[in-house]
Each structure stands twice: as C-alpha cells, then as structure tokens.
Structure 1
Amino acid sequence: MTPPVSADLSRLLFDGRYEQTHQDLHELLLDPVFDPREGLTMAEAGRLAYERSRAVHAGLERPREILADPWRLFALAEWPSLVDVSTFSLLMVHYNLAFGTVVEHGARDDLKDLFDELDRLDSFSPYMATELGYGNNVAALRTEAVYDAGTGTFVLNTPDALAQKYMSYSGFQDIPKLAVVMARLKADGRDHGVFPFLVRISDRDGLRPGVHAAPCPEKPVQGLDNGLTWFDHVRVPRRNLLHGDMGGFDENGVFRPAAGNQRKRFLRAMSRILPGRLCVSSAATGAGRAAVYIALRYAARRLTNAPGRNDLPVIEYRSHQLALFTALAKTYAMTLLLNHAKREFTGAPRDAVPAGLGDLVSITKALATWEMTEVVATCRERCGAQGIFSVNRIADYGSLLQGLVTAEGDNQVLLATTAGQIIARGGDGAEDGAEPDTAPDPRGRSLRDPAFLVAALRHRERELLRAARAAMADDSGDRTYFEAWNGTINSGLEMARARGVRIALECFTAAVDAARDETARAALGLLAALYGLTEVRRAADWLLARGVLTAEQVERLPVEADALCAEIRPYADTLTDGFNLSPELLRAPIAADDYVAAFQRRTGAFGPAAARPAEGG
C-alpha cells in the first residue's frame, strides 16, 4: 500500500488524476519492447521508435478518444519520453499536431476512410508546417496548393528551396505516411492564405510520385527520420482540404473563405499548437522529475571520502544538496505551474481562446522547458561519469530538452511575442502595470515567508511591466516602432519570465495549503521556500536597489538556502516517492537499490569472483 505521505504528494503532482489517467501508461512502459538496446545505428534506433509507438498505440484506447480528453493527451506526452525520447516525438506529432488537426478540421463523412486509417495507425502522419526559410513566421510560408477546377484537385508545389518542408518525418520512405501539409490555398486567381491538406507522401513501396525527400543530418540520441521534403506538382483530391469552419466550396465549385482575415483563419488552422505547448511542457516536467529521481537515488548510495571518514553518501555534502534540492524544488514548481495551465486550458471555450490563457500557456512552455533543461544538466553533472551513459537516461533527457525548447515555438521568440502582447494590451492599475506598484516592506520579514516571497516577486513583475509600457509609449525622439521594441525586448522577456515564476510560487504555496498529510505539508513548505528563495536570490540586485530586500537579507540568502537544504534532507526520498517512478520503469542502473550490481549486470563485467553479485541480486 502506498504510504499516506507519498499518496498525498502524488495527488498534488498529478492533480488527483494518476490512477485514472496515468497509471496504465506507467504499466505499459514496463513491456520488454522498451528495454534499453545498445549498439544500434541511428536508423535502427529510429525504426525502433516507430515499433514502440505502435506498441503504445496498441495498448491504449484509440487516438480519437485520447484527443477527446486533453488530460489523457497530456499524460501520453509525459510518460513515453522517460524510456525513449524519440517515441514521444512520434506520438505527439501523430496524435496532437497531425491527427488532432484532422479531427478538428476534417471530421467529415467523405474523409472517413483516411480518418480511420490514421486512427488505426495504419499510416503515421507527419506534420509539415515549418519550411527551410520560414520557421516562426509560418504564416508567410510559400508551399502552395493551386485549385484546378477542371479536375477537382489541388496542385501542391514547392516553388523554391526556401519553401522545402523542414524537419518533418519523411526519411524512412518505406513507412506509410499520410501527412498534414500546411500550404497556401490559391483558387480563382486569389490567395486565400494557409490551410491544412492531407497528403499521402509514402507507402510501403516508397515515396509517392512527385514527392521528394532528403534526410536531415543526424541528431544526438534521437534517430528519427527528420528530412527536407518538397513537392513537384502533386495532385491532391479536393476532399483532402481540411477546411473545417474556415471556408469551403459552394455548389458551383467556388472556394468561399469564412469571414475574417487570413491571419484569423491561419490561427484557427494552427489550433493544435496551444495544446501542443502543454504536451511539450508535460514531457519536459516528466523528464525533469525522472532526472531528479535518478540523481537523488544515486547520490544517496554513492559513497565518497569525507574528513575523518571514507563512506559518506555524496548527498550529505551541502554543495550536492543545494544543487539537487534546488533542482527538486524547480521540478515541483514547474509541475504545479503546468497543472494550473492545464486546468485553465481544459476549462476554457475551444472556439475563442482568451488572451490571458494564451499568455499563461506560452509562458509555462518557455519557463518549464528552460528550467527543466537546467535541472537535467545539473542532475547529469552531479552524477559524474555515470550521468554520461544513455542507459542511465539523464543524458538522453538533455537531448530531449534541447528539442523541446524549440518545439511548438522557439522559447525566446515565443516569450518575446507574449511579452509584446502583454505590454501592448495596456492597463489601468498597478495590477497590470499602468501605475507604480507599492513595494513590500522587508523589515522584520522572514526570507522563508511565502507571502513575502510572492509579494517581492509580484512587485518586480509589475514594475518591469510598467517600465516596459512607459518605454514603448515614449514618443520623444524619432524612433520607429521596431527601434522602440528592440530597446524594450530584453526587459519584456524578463517581465514575462517573472510572471511565470510568480504564478509558479503561488501554485506551490497553494499546494502546501492543500496537502492533507502533515509530513507532506512540512516537506512541501520547505521546498516551496527554497524555490522562492532561489528566485529572489536570482533577482537580489534589483530587489535590493528598490528597497524590497535589505542588505542584511541579501547577505543571508545563501545561508538560508543551506539551512533549508539541511531541513529538506530527511524528506528527500519522500518527496521523490510522489513522482510514482521506479527503477523497474526507468531501467537506469544508477537508480537501482544496488547500483554497483546493476551496472555490472548491464556491462557483463563482474570483475573478481568475490565481487560477483548473487544470482537475482
């Protein structure tokens, strides 16, 4: 039976949904198909990811059912990457981006055969939006689909090298692929903007006529078949246009776009990007939790020398604690922030996404993937040489995070865009940056007080926002809009990050209050204080200059962090138990109870007979 404290932490981390939404995914990954395999070429590793993706598909409900429950989709994003980062990528592209687009914009009787084909995973569905010359400005992409009224088909064509589809999965040319291709719809001499089309790019005999592909260079760890893809006057049936409510053909065969401008229709066509950002964040936080779990288990068992003794677990060093417990605190904070964003997303209307929700999801994606990148790097380093081996997982998570930082919108561009939108919306009070915000009085305040830490971070966020708005509104001089924004962008980025950090700490303190078990509440309270203290320490110069911290408090920040680590140490195992992970799932030798025996079994080099582990040990 799960101890009450671990069950309570699991309830908070998985938003009370572990048993009904996550547990079968955990159990599915115990299948031997997910056992580590070494010595594979990159192509073999990529084909294994396709095999594993089919195993996941076979073990779960149909994709259409998963898409109907966003919580289930987010869970699917969270687990497979723990044992194969490439499997996560394939599943998310197929389920969310590609098939999700078909469900939202092409669930029609005349497409039922193709719909069912993708639902059965008879064909994988790459998502082809990004072009070699057009990344974040996808609305400007150049691939075109020109309607031929005489044949009732679209002619899909790549006009030049910059318009080649980039990074989508087209390298394994004998795997059946039915892609969602974003292309510029042209009909009756008019450009109607970017729409999604279903295009069969390959079958078991190879690429279809008119479809060309070349593999991208190899990436570390992930052996997927990313490629450059281009089209040479490929005929696409009219029915394969996924127009949804964005337009359609009238009884005379004339294309009629829906009301509104091209940008509005384009954003509607790209509707799977928003849940995709939550999927990416789910994978990032899942990898962060797994990395911390592995690193802390290893640190508790890895013996080292210390003054006066030679058998001290490395976790007893305060330097090791500060690194790993800070990583643990960030992982909890980002998981709780993500849960908040998921709740807001699932509770919002699908047809009109509120601006505040878009801000929250984008900030969560950027902050979670950046923070987990740092967490995974810290865990890898603290595991020493063992952290380098793929079999111990953490290095592979680092490769995953490098991709997630870019996926569904490059973080820096995404956060800058979000900051610009927040600044441009204006406001009429201190809450939204229109007026100076009163700084909290630091005198007599404890550096562990969550209310004080939240107030300090909120003040910084609001003042950064107010200053950014004032800078943009300053009409003195002869500045272009770009010059004004270019001079504000870095402070805007810092403001958007500050907002995410403040919301994360608020979610963390709410979780402390929501804990039912006294031990869980105590452990969470210490960890929340460490997270808040870490972020206040990051901005200590700004806070000191504005009187939010005293000089004495700034000097005490590192002392207080060390003291918190000492108090967190007895709860370390308890806090990671809430992750619902196990050595059996992760199959990382250094996460085992006896990491030496596990590592020797993995290498097959048992050494001296006296050191040979017992059978079954």
Structure 2
Amino acid sequence: MTSSASAELSRLLFDGRYEQTHQDLHELLLDPVFDFREGLTMTEAGKLAYERSRAVHAGLERPRDVLADPWRLFALAEWPSLVDVSTFSLLMVHYNLAFGTVVEHGDREDLKDLFDELDRLDSFSPYMATELGYGNNVAALRTEAVYDSATETFVLNTPDALAQKYMSYSGFQDVPKLAVVMARLKADGKDHGVYPFLVRISDGKQLCRGVHAAPCPEKPVQGLDNGLTWFDHVRVPRRQLLHGDMGGFDADGVFRPASGNRRKRFLRAMNRILPGRLCVSSAATGAGRASVYIALRFAAQRLTNAPGRNDLPIIEYRSHQLALYTALSRTYAMTLLLNHAKREFTAAPQDALSAGLNHLVSITKALSTWEMTDVVATCRERCGAQGIFSANRIADYGSLLQGLVTAEGDNQVLLATTAGQIIAQYGDGDGTEPAPAPDPAGRHLGDLAFLVAAVRHREAELLREAAAAMADDTGGRTYFENWNGTINTGLEMARARGVRTALECFAAALGTLEDESARTALGLLAALYGLSEVRRDAGWYLARGVLTAEQVERLPRETDMLCVRLQPYTDALIGGFRLSPELLRAPIAADDYVSAFQQCTGAFGPAAGAVAEGS
C-alpha cells in the first residue's frame, strides 16, 4: 500500500517528470565528491562548491541544452542544494542568470568563442547587476559603459562607491571568470539605459587590468567568494555588448536602440529574473521536503519519556505531530503551487509573458520561500540539538532559505510591487470576480471546498478594500500617502491569493489520484493546510461571519485530529519525495540514527541496541 501510494504522490510532486527530468540528477549526487566534509575553512568550502559545480556540469548535458528545457533548469535548481547549498548558488548564477542572458541576447557567430567557453564551463560567469547603493533598484544603477567609436570599445567604469557591484562572485582570483555586467550604455552623448555586457573578470591567475574586487564579510555556511567589484576604465570590445533585439550598431557605427520605451528594453535585458524566481522556489521547496523528511524519520526513532513508560517515539506526542504535519502540509502546498506556476510559465509564449503570469510567479516565489523558511526552522527545532549540526543538513537549509528570501527580488518588495499592480488593475477587465462569504452553517471545518471559498472571500475583500483606499482622493493625500496606508493590506491580499491558488491545486490534484490510500492522505493534508491558514486569521473570518464562534473554538481540536489521522500515512507521504538516507547523508535520517551518528563522530562506543534500551 505504501509503495503504491508513494508512487502516485511522487508522480504528483514531480509533475510526472521524475524519470525523465530528475532521476539522473538524484543519482549524480550519490558521487563521493558530494560526501559531507567537516572542518573546512570558508575558503575551502567555497573552493569545494566550485569543484562540485564542475562535477554536476560534467555529468549533465551542456548548459545550452539545459536552458532549452525549463523543466530541466528547474530540476537543476532543486537537487544540488540538498547536499551543498553553495553549489546551488553557483550553478543557478552561471546557468540561468549569466549564461541564460548570453543565450538570450548574445548567441551570435562573433561571440561563439566566448559562448562556447561558458558552455564548457572553462570559465564561471558571475552576474553583476546589483549595486551597493541601489539594492533591488537595478534600473537606477550607475555603472556606465561609454562607447569610444575610435577604438570600437566600451569604457566600463564605476563612478563612485555606491555603484560598486555587490555580492557577485569575484573573490577567488584563481578561478577563471567571464561575467555578465549590467551597465548604463552611453553613446554619442546619450544615455540609452541599462544593457548587459560580457566582461572578463579573471584569467584564472589574477584579476584582469582595471578590475578590482574586495571580499564581502563571511556568511554562515555558504563559503562563496561574494565580493564588491568595481571597474576603472576597463576596455570592453564592442562585440561583447549583449544587445539581442534591444538595439545595435548601424553601418555607420552609430548605436541605435530598439524602438519602444527604455523601461521595456530594461525588462527585456533582465528577463532571466522570472525563470530565476521559479528556480529559487524549486530550491526552497526541495529544502523544505528534505527537512520534513529528515525530521519525521528522526521523530519515529527518537525515544522519550511518557507517563508510565520511557520508550515512546516523540512523534506520538500531539505537539510534535502538529508542528511536523503542518510543516508537511505546507511543503506539499508550496510544491503543488510551484508546479502550477511552472506549467503556466512553460506553456506561455516567452516573448509575451502576461501580467497575470508575472503575478503568479512572483507570489509563488515570495510565498514558497517564506513558508519554507518557517518549515525549515520548525524542523530544526523539533530535532533538538541534532538539528544544529550541519551534518544533519537542516541548519544549512536554514541558511539557504535566508538567501532565497532575498534572491531574485526581496520578498517584501516583490510582493508589494505585485500587490500594487493587482490593485491598479482592479475592476479594469482584470478578471476579478466577486467572492461572497460562504455560509458556515452546517459546514465541516475539514471540507476543502469550504476552505477554498473562505480564503477566496478573504482575498477578494482585501483587494476590494485596498482598491477603494487607493481610489479615495479625499483629504488631499498624495499617491505615496495612499499607497503607504494600503501597502500592508495589499501584502495580505497577495499572500491570500497564493494560499487560495495552493488550495485549488490541492483540490485539482485529488481528482487525479487513483490510489485510495494516496487520495486519503492528500485529502487530510489539504484540509490541515487549509485549516492552518484559516486559523491564522480566525479573528478576521469570525468578524465577517465566515466562521461561527463555535467553529473558531473547535479549530485546535480539528487540527489535532487531522494529525492523528495523518500519522499512518507518514511513510507514504514522505516516500513521494524520492529522497533517501544515502542521498542526504544526514545521520538522523538513517534507519538506525544512533549508529549513524556514532559513525559520523567516530565514537564507536556501546552498540546501538544497548544505547536505545537505555534511552
């Protein structure tokens, strides 16, 4: 029963693509180069991440082929971080952001030598967009590339400290680097806006002439060579402008930007950010699944005291169940939401991505990384002291998630921007439909249709409230004052949209399962996720008549009972993750965690059985 249910759930979680898209990545990570290493300095850990990145590259098809199949790119984002969070960062910057930009805008015969160099990974490609003084406001960046028609080169320069490129991988001078640098293109006395340039940073021995770098302070766990980088009148050949369809030089050597406004050209230059958000969400949900897998396997073995006995697995406690099964429900919810966003993205025409798709991807990125941050933190705590050790992985995933919350658009800023766009479109043919409050009379709290209707109503009401506040022109308030007073409502609305979509994905998935055990398990998990969300805002639902006072009081008991009913399905639910102790190499995920932990520490003391009996 468990194997059949796990197979169905795996098909669901990997969207039927595990064998063709994920399996070889899983198997590649079994290579000893990915074994856990203790006692490394931050520099040694960073160098190891480069070695591991080369091992992944050598074991897969070329980057150009990975980029041609977005599902493959998303899978590449999902797996390496499970054994080395730094390797994920290197691979995604090189494959998606940097080389993806070259493929999109510089796949030309005159750049074939540099294109192939990056495709072979002879050089790594940092992506240099963010500047120290401007953060997420890349459109305002100050690095400039001024065209010199006499030499047919651009002069790349950093005008001041605020314009230094920030966080890009420039610290290891003995690693060949060929960076994609976003700079303000200036020609014939005109500022044409931000364009990408291909710039050699390091030749593998030292930084190139005119390129300067200083290391950023150390980050927990991730020992990569993040740095501040600045340019002192670096000459860049004209051919290394990655202009794509955003402009070019005419026969007279004059730069002509493409028609349309500068904002559209900027968004086109930065178009790897959107698939990058799906990559970030893939890494986040992968880390969430691994954390729950480790924590639940450990909880089934870890013995603790109970009235009248001293050998009770800690998962038998309702407090432990509520924490971990709620985490499991959120992990499934975010995986299903992400799969939905991936399908919508891959089905859309890439030259005309809709506003709705941008909203879906942005909400998915923000919600999934925030939710998985909470999931990883919960799993770490529920593993006690064992959760602190890097060997048991979960603590490292926490560091990864802290970075993912900021990557490809800081969540708070990203969600606020998305909310503002949704509010601006309200009532303007945006497809928004009224969502009346569901009648709670006679409704069971675990009824998924009722939970979907409740969250949909909350989303619609928050949107209506925010739109009305933005349209209120009384009192002489400025646009900023109106928005500043509405922003938190907008954030809650955008979050509710993500939750509602995730619940709808749960409901749709239930209809695809043939195995009765899998269908029962997923239904219970969907109800737990929905109830945890309704419970989060129970006061709001009570005030608006969506829940009765009696139902609000019953919420804690209902969630407890769902956890009790879920417990027999634990193995089937985490079996769908396609994880194994051999892959994760986390001692507490092993079949015998005591022996595995002893082996990890080198302390071969009493036999595991004797230790267990004395626990």
Answer yes or no: same fold by TM over 0.5: yes
The whole-number CA distance in structure 2 between the counterparts of 1:516 and 1:21 is 23
1:199 is paired with a residue of what secondary structure?
Answer: strand
State the Cα deviation string for residues 312-363 of structure 1 (Å, max 9, x = none): 0000000000000000000000000000000000000111110000000000
Match of 1:239 in 2: 239
Match of 1:384 in 2: 384
How far apart are residue 608 of structure 1 and its match? 3.9
The whole-number CA distance in structure 2 between the counterparts of 1:611 and 1:316 is 21
Match of 1:79 in 2: 79
The whole-number CA distance in structure 2 between the counterparts of 1:428 and 1:159 is 43
- Cα root mean square deviation, aligned: 1.3
User: For residues 349-498 of structure 1, what are the structure 2 equivalents within 5 Å?
Assistant: 349-427=349-427, 432=432, 437-498=435-496
Q: TM-score, normalised by structure 2?
A: 0.98
Q: Which runs of 5+ in 1 are unaligned?
A: none
Match of 1:528 in 2: 526
Match of 2:297 in 1: 297
2:256 is paired with a residue of what secondary structure?
Answer: strand
AA matched with 2:121: L
Q: Does structure 2 conserve the Cα–Cα contact (< 8 Å) formed by 1:294 and 1:590?
A: yes
Q: Does structure 2 conserve the Cα–Cα contact (< 8 Å) formed by 1:82 and 1:286?
A: yes
AA matched with 1:185: L
Q: Does structure 2 conserve the Cα–Cα contact (< 8 Å) formed by 1:126 and 1:178?
A: yes
Match of 1:112 in 2: 112
For the pair 1:540 / 2:538, whether they are aligned, the reply is: yes
1:125 is paired with a residue of what secondary structure?
Answer: coil
1:420 is paired with a residue of what secondary structure?
Answer: helix
Judged with a 3 Å threshold, the aligned counterparts in structure 2 of structure 1 residues 165 and 364 are, in CA distance, closer, same or farther, namely: same
Match of 1:346 in 2: 346
How far apart are residue 511 of structure 1 and its match? 1.0
State the Cα deviation string for residues 62-105 of structure 1 (Å, max 9, x = none): 00000000000000000000000000000000000000000000
User: For residues 33-48 of structure 1, what are the structure 2 equivalents within 5 Å?
Assistant: 33-48=33-48
Q: Does structure 2 conserve the Cα–Cα contact (< 8 Å) formed by 1:430 and 1:462?
A: no
How far apart are residue 174 of structure 1 and its match? 1.1
The whole-number CA distance in structure 1 between the counterparts of 2:367 and 2:609 is 46
Match of 1:175 in 2: 175
The whole-number CA distance in structure 2 between the counterparts of 1:210 and 1:535 is 54
Judged with a 3 Å threshold, the aligned counterparts in structure 2 of structure 1 residues 589 and 247 are, in CA distance, closer, same or farther, namely: same
Q: Which runs of 5+ in 2 are unaligned?
A: none
Q: Does structure 1 conserve the Cα–Cα contact (< 8 Å) formed by 2:145 and 2:154?
A: yes
The whole-number CA distance in structure 2 between the counterparts of 1:335 and 1:594 is 29
2:511 is paired with a residue of what secondary structure?
Answer: helix
Q: Does structure 2 conserve the Cα–Cα contact (< 8 Å) formed by 1:6 and 1:578?
A: yes
AA matched with 2:539: D
Match of 2:214 in 1: 214
For the pair 1:228 / 2:225, whether they are aligned, the reply is: no
The whole-number CA distance in structure 2 between the counterparts of 1:7 and 1:383 is 27
State the Cα deviation string for residues 24-82 of structure 1 (Å, max 9, x = none): 00000000000000110000000000000000000000000000000000000000000
Match of 2:507 in 1: 509
AA matched with 1:348: A
Match of 2:286 in 1: 286
How far apart are residue 509 of structure 1 and its match? 1.3
How far apart are residue 429 of structure 1 and its match? 8.3
The whole-number CA distance in structure 2 between the counterparts of 1:425 and 1:134 is 28
Judged with a 3 Å threshold, the aligned counterparts in structure 2 of structure 1 residues 571 and 609 are, in CA distance, closer, same or farther, namely: closer
Q: Does structure 2 conserve the Cα–Cα contact (< 8 Å) formed by 1:170 and 1:229?
A: yes
How far apart are residue 3 of structure 1 and its match? 2.2
The whole-number CA distance in structure 2 between the counterparts of 1:282 and 1:290 is 12
How far apart are residue 611 of structure 1 and its match? 6.9
Match of 2:497 in 1: 499
How far apart are residue 5 of structure 1 and its match? 1.2
Match of 1:260 in 2: 260
AA matched with 1:449: D
Q: Does structure 1 conserve the Cα–Cα contact (< 8 Å) formed by 2:3 and 2:572?
A: no
The whole-number CA distance in structure 2 between the counterparts of 1:538 and 1:188 is 58
Judged with a 3 Å threshold, the aligned counterparts in structure 2 of structure 1 residues 339 and 610 are, in CA distance, closer, same or farther, namely: closer
State the Cα deviation string for residues 543-578 of structure 1 (Å, max 9, x = none): 100000000110110000000000000001110000
Match of 2:136 in 1: 136
2:186 is paired with a residue of what secondary structure?
Answer: strand
1:312 is paired with a residue of what secondary structure?
Answer: strand
State the Cα deviation string for residues 220-245 of structure 1 (Å, max 9, x = none): 00000000000000000000000000
Q: TM-score, normalised by structure 1?
A: 0.98
AA matched with 2:235: R
Q: Does structure 2 conserve the Cα–Cα contact (< 8 Å) formed by 1:431 and 1:462?
A: no
State the Cα deviation string for residues 412-455 of structure 1 (Å, max 9, x = none): 0000000000001121689626x6x4211110011011110000
The whole-number CA distance in structure 1 between the counterparts of 2:576 and 2:607 is 39
How far apart are residue 607 of structure 1 and its match? 2.1
1:432 is paired with a residue of what secondary structure?
Answer: coil
Identity within the alignment, %: 84
Match of 1:92 in 2: 92
